[in-house]
């Protein structure tokens, strides 16, 4: 079973993805973007949030949900430090301090068993032998939607940090009472895509065979879906949320469940919900596959949470989770 999510959200005054600080100026990520106007194709620069940033925001609730389901999660992933089993030092915990196995299959199996986050999110072990486990989920950058891209804005905002004025004369020379700094904020309607291959969870990428029992695999799939729902519902993605929590919210959402890989139409395009539905109808007919499509605002789905709850019921019925 393959899940695909397309989502649009409005973010007013956000600093979700800062890329560099020069002096007292923090710069927002910006990327080249194609727009068409008056029969001309142009490239403009727009604010963006990287896939790495959203990936991090997904794996944090994944560690939390996995632990809530009594699954094994390594110390660093529990802390939200996703260095993963990149070498012998970081992989050691998964083997309880024993020598690491020499066979790639045994190494992968040991790591996957001991950490749900590394099972779902993949890892790259650069030891001998090197092992690459591809992530079961894929995520795009969040980019302004096409119709709105030219209106998306980046603007520096002035802020000041004040020191206490009391006893100022006693302080060392050069201690500033006030420091001004600029944070470049973005405002846009963003869209991004998130895919999740449920069938890759708990399976060896090397042998294609299950590494865990079917019950454990179901439990990990549940954690993988719940953490996606949690990320969308909580809006806990991106940086600087403590003082620049974006105002706005989810404008539209499409969630699909298919037997084979299928990606929703990109939410940067208008009518992406209808196009996704049309494409799915064709796939369902031509390949005789059962496809599910949950669209916010349709079939009684009033909130994003409704879409996830429908999906979870469906997957339960199918014995997938
Ligand atoms: Zn881990």
Question: How many angstroms does the Cα of residue 279 sit away from the middle of ligand 1?
Answer: 37
In sequence order, the 6+-apart residues with CB closer than 8 A to the CB of 317 are none
Which tens digit of pLDDT belongs to each residue from 61-107? 999 999 999 999 999 999 999 999 999 999 999 999 889 999 999 99
Average pLDDT for residues 155-170, to the nearest whole number? 77
87: phi then psi, degrees, rounded to nearest 5: -150, -175
Average pLDDT for residues 279-288, to the nearest whole number? 96
Question: How many angstroms does the Cα of residue 202 sit away from the middle of ligand 1?
Answer: 14
Average pLDDT, rounded, for the chain: 94
Long-range contacts of 89-97 (CB under 8 A, 24+ apart): 91/125, 91/127
Cis, bond preceding 317 (omega within 30 deg of 0): no
Question: How many angstroms does the Cα of residue 194 sit away from the middle of ligand 1?
Answer: 21
pLDDT of amino acid 118? 98
pLDDT of amino acid 176? 62
Q: Kindly report the pTM of this predicted structure.
A: 0.94
Question: How many angstroms does the Cα of residue 257 sit away from the middle of ligand 1?
Answer: 27
Kindly state the percentage of the chain with pLDDT values over 90: 88
Question: How many angstroms does the Cα of residue 308 sit away from the middle of ligand 1?
Answer: 26
Which tens digit of pLDDT belongs to each residue from 184-210? 999 999 999 999 999 999 999 999 999
Question: How many angstroms does the Cα of residue 116 sit away from the middle of ligand 1?
Answer: 7
Question: How many angstroms does the Cα of residue 119 sit away from the middle of ligand 1?
Answer: 8
pLDDT of amino acid 28? 96
Average pLDDT for residues 248-273, to the nearest whole number? 97
CA 53 → CA 15, 32, 56, 236, distances in Å? 12, 18, 5, 11
Average pLDDT for residues 282-296, to the nearest whole number? 96
3-state secondary structure the chain: CEEEEEEEEEEEEECCCEEEEECCEEEECEEEEEEEECCEEEEEEEECECHHHHHHHHHHHHHHHHHHCCCCCCHHHHCCCCCCCCCHHHHHHHHCCCCCCCCHHHHHHHHHHHCHHHHHHCEEECCCCCEEECCCEEECCEEECHHHHHHCEEEEEEEEEECCCCCHHHCCCCCCCEEEEEEEEEEEEEEEEEEEEHHHCCECCCCCCECCCHHHHHHHHHHHHHHHHHHHHHCCCCCCHHHHCCEEEEEEEEEEEECCCCCCCCCCCCCHHHHHHHHHHHHHHHHCCCCEEEECCCCCCCCHHHHHHHHHHHHHHCCCC
Split at pLDDT 50, 70, 90, the class of 168 is: low
Question: How many angstroms does the Cα of residue 163 sit away from the middle of ligand 1?
Answer: 41
> Lowest-pLDDT range, 19-23, 49-53, 121-125?
19-23
Question: How many angstroms does the Cα of residue 75 sit away from the middle of ligand 1?
Answer: 7
Question: How many angstroms does the Cα of residue 15 sit away from the middle of ligand 1?
Answer: 28
Question: How many angstroms does the Cα of residue 82 sit away from the middle of ligand 1?
Answer: 7
Question: How many angstroms does the Cα of residue 196 sit away from the middle of ligand 1?
Answer: 19
């Amino acid at each position: 079973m393959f899940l695909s999510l397309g989502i649009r959200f409005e973010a007013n005054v956000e600093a979700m993805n800062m890329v560099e600080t020069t002096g007292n100026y923090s710069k927002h990520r910006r990327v080249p973007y194609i727009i068409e106007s008056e029969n001309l194709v142009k490239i403009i620069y727009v604010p963006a949030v990287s896939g790495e940033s959203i990936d991090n925001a997904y794996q944090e609730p994944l560690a939390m949900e996995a632990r809530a389901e009594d699954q094994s999660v390594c110390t660093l992933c529990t802390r939200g430090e996703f260095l993963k089993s990149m070498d012998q030092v970081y992989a050691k915990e998964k083997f309880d301090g024993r020598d690491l196995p020499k066979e790639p299959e045994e190494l992968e199996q040991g790591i996957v068993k001991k950490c749900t986050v590394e099972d779902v999110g993949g890892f790259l072990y650069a030891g001998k032998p090197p092992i690459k486990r591809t992530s079961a989920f894929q995520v795009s950058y969040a980019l302004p939607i096409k119709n709105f891209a030219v209106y998306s804005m980046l603007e520096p905002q002035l802020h000041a940090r004040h020191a206490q004025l009391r006893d100022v004369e006693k302080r060392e020379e050069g201690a500033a009472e006030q420091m001004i700094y600029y944070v470049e904020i973005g405002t846009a309607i963003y869209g991004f895509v998130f895919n999740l291959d449920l069938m890759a969870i708990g399976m060896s990428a090397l042998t294609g065979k299950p590494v865990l029992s079917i019950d454990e695999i179901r439990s990990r799939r549940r954690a993988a879906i719940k953490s996606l729902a949690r990320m969308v519902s909580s809006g806990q993605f991106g940086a600087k949320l403590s003082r620049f929590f974006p105002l706005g919210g989810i404008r539209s959402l499409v969630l699909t469940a298919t037997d084979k890989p299928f990606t929703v139409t990109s939410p940067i395009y208008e009518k992406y919900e209808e196009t996704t539905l049309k494409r799915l109808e064709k796939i369902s007919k031509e390949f005789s596959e059962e496809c599910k499509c949950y669209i916010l605002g349709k079939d009684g789905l009033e909130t994003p949470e409704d879409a996830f709850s429908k999906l979870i019921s469906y997957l339960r019925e199918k014995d997938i989770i």
